[in-house]
């Protein structure tokens, strides 16, 4: 997987909602109604991570969840990270 250029990264970010660049990763924060809703979301993210074999950094406290994607093997962001971001954003 080819590391994306800064221009490609910003093009991808423009297509997404609320994902921010953080170092060599993309990050988004969510706030749910309660802990159960947060855990439901986390499990749906886990299903996607298994399906695409690409795993986020995940942070949770009560109703808050943060996800970060980066492609460590490529030393930066790749198409895989933005594919995952798009799939995560489809979760209802």
Distant-in-sequence, close-in-space partners of 25: CB < 8 Å, separation ≥ 6: 57, 68, 69, 70, 77, 81
Does residue 48 touch a second copy according to CB under 8 A?
no
CB of 27 to a second copy, least distance (A): 13
Residue 22, sorted as left (phi over 0), alpha (psi -120 to 50) or beta, turns out to be beta
Query: Which tokens belong to 32?
Result: 């749910």
From 10-18, 19-27, 57-65, 83-91, give the range in contact with a second copy by CB under 8 A: 57-65
Does residue 73 touch a second copy according to CB under 8 A?
no
CB of 69 to a second copy, least distance (A): 11
Distant-in-sequence, close-in-space partners of 20: CB < 8 Å, separation ≥ 6: 13, 26, 27, 28
Binding test (CB under 8 A) with a second copy, winner from 13, 16, 39, 74: 39
CB of 58 to a second copy, least distance (A): 4
């Amino acid at each position: 997987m080819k590391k994306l250029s800064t221009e490609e990264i910003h093009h991808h970010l423009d297509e997404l909602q609320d994902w921010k660049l953080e170092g060599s990763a993309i990050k988004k924060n969510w706030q749910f109604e309660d802990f159960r809703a947060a855990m439901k979301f986390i499990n749906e993210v886990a299903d996607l991570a298994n399906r695409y074999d690409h795993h986020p950094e995940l942070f949770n406290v009560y109703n808050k969840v943060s996800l970060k994607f980066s492609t460590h093997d490529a030393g930066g962001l790749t198409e895989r990270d933005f594919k995952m971001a798009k799939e995560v954003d489809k979760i209802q």
